[in-house]
Amino acid sequence: MRYFSRFHPLVTLVYFLTVIIFSMFVNHPVMGIIALLGGICFTSVMTSSAEKVSDLKFYIPLFFLISLTNPLFSHNGKTPLFFMNGNAVTLEAIIYGVGIAVMLVGVMMWAKAYSFVMTTDKFLYLFGSIVPQLSLVLSMVLRYVPMLKRQAKQVQKSQKGLGMYSSDSYFDRAKSGMRVMSAVVGWSLEHVVETSKSMKARGYGLKGRTNYSNFRFRKEDGLLLGIIVGLFAMIVVCMTTGALTFAYYPEITPIKTNPMALIAYICFAVLAILPFLIEIGELLRWNYYRSKI
């Protein structure tokens, strides 16, 4: 189910920018944990079981790698736990490493959710008339990397069918990998030529050329945009009162639980969980209608 992707591109773009900006630039553990949990919930309804397993294999080691790396290089903090090679490993450095890991993994999950929802045609619809050259280049670049990965997998499968990769020798596997890379590079160059000819045949760059779009701003889009802007404004107001101030160094400051801080946590939690609630609500409604057939 990807019902959230049916909303207007402007609404979804504003939503992702809002969540990612708060996740990256608000240095607060509660906000980071909320962003991570929201990203997990959203991507869980957008990916298959195999993709979930693949994500776990990638994100869990990455999380521990970032968490353990920071204390080895940063020795700030007032609470030394033990010494390693004459350098103090502090509690503040460990907690800060965990906080950075939570933030990075959460942002990466939201970026993955963004790639699911904000497709190339939506990006071109929003920015094609404002900066057409730049929007075209960015959309092609964003599309180019996954396209190359798919082509590389196809070439690799075809070579396995021809008997390649049959040896466990590192040299043979490297040689086969270079053969795949050579085939993919040649295919990409040919694809660039075909794309340029296709664009020229369709009149790209000519004056008076119009663009067709099937995106329409509906009442549902206006309602969701109003909710996003309202939650964003409430969080900003709470931030101006100092409700989200937090520091790891030189010592960890207490997490505030005053009314303004609680309002900020709740508003950001609602904002982060909003796509998941929309997807679950649509799934429940779909199952209800199916039961009535």
Question: What value does the mean pLDDT take over residues 141-157?
Answer: 76
- Give 200-217 pLDDT, tens digit per residue: 777 766 666 666 567 888
Contact 250, 25 (CB under 8 A): no
Give CA–CA dist 45/75, Å, rounded.
40
Q: What is the 3-state secondary structure (H, E, C) of 172-204?
A: HHHHHHHHHHHHHHHHHHHHHHHHHHHHHHCCC
Percent of the chain, pLDDT > 70? 87
Cβ neighbors of 186 (< 8 A, separation 6 or more) are: none
Q: Name which residue leads in pLDDT, 278 or 181.
A: 278
- Give 1-56 pLDDT, tens digit per residue: 578 888 999 999 999 999 999 999 998 999 999 999 999 999 888 888 888 888 88
> The whole model's pTM is what?
0.77
What phi and psi values does residue 48 have, to the nearest 5 degrees?
-85, 175
pLDDT at 269: 96
- Give 62-98 pLDDT, tens digit per residue: 899 888 888 888 778 788 878 877 777 888 888 999 9
Q: What is the 3-state secondary structure (H, E, C) of 29-69?
A: HHHHHHHHHHHHHHHHHHCCHHHHHHHHHHHHHHHHHHHHH
Give CA–CA dist 289/292, Å, rounded.
5
- Give 120-138 pLDDT, tens digit per residue: 778 777 776 666 666 666 6
Q: Following DSSP, what letter does each residue of 99-150 receive, concatenated?
A: HHHHHHHHHHHHHHHHHHHS-HHHHHHHHTTTSHHHHHHHHHHHHHHHHHHH
Q: Is the pLDDT of residue 285 over 70?
A: yes
Give CA–CA dist 23/113, Å, rounded.
14
Give CA–CA dist 29/31, Å, rounded.
5
Q: Among 116, 114, 110, which Cα is nearest to 46's?
A: 116
